[in-house]
């Protein structure tokens, strides 16, 4: 019982770690896209001002 419960918690921990990694990767990709979009907006607005 104890070993089985331990195995389940280890599986849950690895699944949790995997989901955290996936979320971090998705967040990084999304923030990189937002960063480039923001840079483009700044460049376009500076062109408009001139």
- Identify whether 29 is part of a domain: yes
pLDDT of residue 42: 94
- Identify whether 9 is part of a domain: no
Reduced to 3 states (helix: H, G, I; strand: E, B; else coil), residue 11 is helix
Q: What's the domain count of the chain?
A: 1
pLDDT, tens digit (0-9, with 9 covering 90-100), for 4-42: 666 767 878 888 889 999 999 999 999 999 999 999 999
Taking phi over 0 as left and psi of -120 to 50 as alpha, with beta for the rest, 34 belongs to alpha
5 Cβ contact list (under 8 Å, min separation 6): none
Per-residue confidence at 43, pLDDT binned at 50, 70, 90? very high
Q: What share of the chain is helix, strand, coil (3-state, %, to 5)?
A: 95, 0, 5
Residue 40 is given by DSSP the state H
Give residue 39's Cα distance to chain centre.
20
Domain with 48, as residue range(s), is 25-50
């Amino acid at each position: 019982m104890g070993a089985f419960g331990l195995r389940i918690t280890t599986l849950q921990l690895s699944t949790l770690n995997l989901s955290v990694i996936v979320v971090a990767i998705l967040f990084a990709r999304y923030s990189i896209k937002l960063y480039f979009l923001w840079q483009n907006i700044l460049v376009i607005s500076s062109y408009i001002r001139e």
